[in-house]
Amino acid sequence: MKKQNSIIKYLYIILIIALTGCSSEDGAVGPQGPQGVPGEDGSQGIQGEQGLQGPGGTDGMDGNANVIYSDWFFPDWNEFDAPRAKRMIVTDPEFGQNYDDGVILFYWITNNGSTFLVPWNSYSTITGALNISRSMNVRGISGDVWITIRRYDQDFEVRDTFGQFEGIIYNRLRYVIIPGNINVSGKSTLDYNDYEAVKAFYNLPD
């Protein structure tokens, strides 16, 4: 029995010495094992409560808030009315107030739907000569605008000067006043000859 205990004691001492003599630097690092199977996604958490609504933003400036415009109206040759020359006087106090720093535009629409910025002229399709001239003159601070039409080759026809005749609408006009104090991005590149562009830019109703 004592001999067996002595043998076990010696074996225990030898095992301790062997373990003490080993270190982590002994032997090469083994290859990395294969990647494990991905775990399952966890369940979605409970949705949080909706936050308070923030304050509303400030309304932007209306693009046509200060633009002045008229309805479409028929020409009224109230200054003189001759077979080859006619003039009407259109009055609005805003013409005088915006004479120096604003923009005053008169648009003329014909029976075929074409819209022109006054002044505009018509030429002969055969000779190229000037047939009809249409002009606009702002009378300074008086608040008047003169619209004058002249024909050079013959007397006026109905379609040249009439607003409405025998149920047919031939000519109408409207004016648009853009005060000089309106500072809108893109105004400097706006083509005033293009009525549709002006109407869209300033949100003008028909």
Q: CB under 8 Å, gap of 24 or more: what pairs does 75-78 form?
A: 75/147, 75/161, 75/162, 75/163, 75/171, 75/172, 75/173, 76/163, 77/161
The answer to the question of residue 35 being in a domain is no
pLDDT at 168: 96
173 within some domain: yes
Residue 37 lies in a domain: no
Q: Is 16 left (phi over 0), alpha (psi -120 to 50) or beta?
A: alpha
Q: CA 91 → CA 94, 96, 139, 175, distances in Å?
A: 9, 9, 10, 11
Strands 85-91, 144-151: pairing kind:
antiparallel
**pLDDT per residue as tens, the chain (206 positions):** 555 555 566 656 665 555 555 544 555 655 666 666 666 766 666 766 765 765 654 444 445 668 999 999 999 999 999 999 999 999 998 898 877 778 999 999 999 999 999 999 999 999 999 999 999 999 877 789 999 999 999 999 999 999 999 999 999 999 999 988 775 556 668 999 999 999 999 999 98
Cβ of 206: how many Cβ atoms within 10 Å? 6
pLDDT of residue 129: 96
Domain count for the chain, please give it: 1
The domain of 178 spans 68-201
Distance, CA of 201 to CA of 195 (rounded, Å): 10
Residue 88 forms part of a structural domain: yes
* Cα–Cα nearest to 114, from 187, 195, 197, 9: 195
Q: How high is the pLDDT of residue 139?
A: 85
Dihedral of CA atoms 79, 85, 86, 92 in degrees, nearest 10, equals: -80
- Whole-model pTM: value is 0.67
Distances (CA, A) of 9 to 4, 16, 170, 178: 9, 11, 128, 112
Q: CATH code at 185?
A: 2.60.40
- Number of Cα atoms under 13 Å in the Cβ half of residue 58: 2
Residue 75: inside a domain, yes or no? yes
Instruction: State residue 175's pLDDT score.
Output: 97
Separation CA 90–CA 95 (nearest Å): 9
pLDDT 10s digits, 79-131: 999 999 999 999 998 898 877 778 999 999 999 999 999 999 999 999 999 99
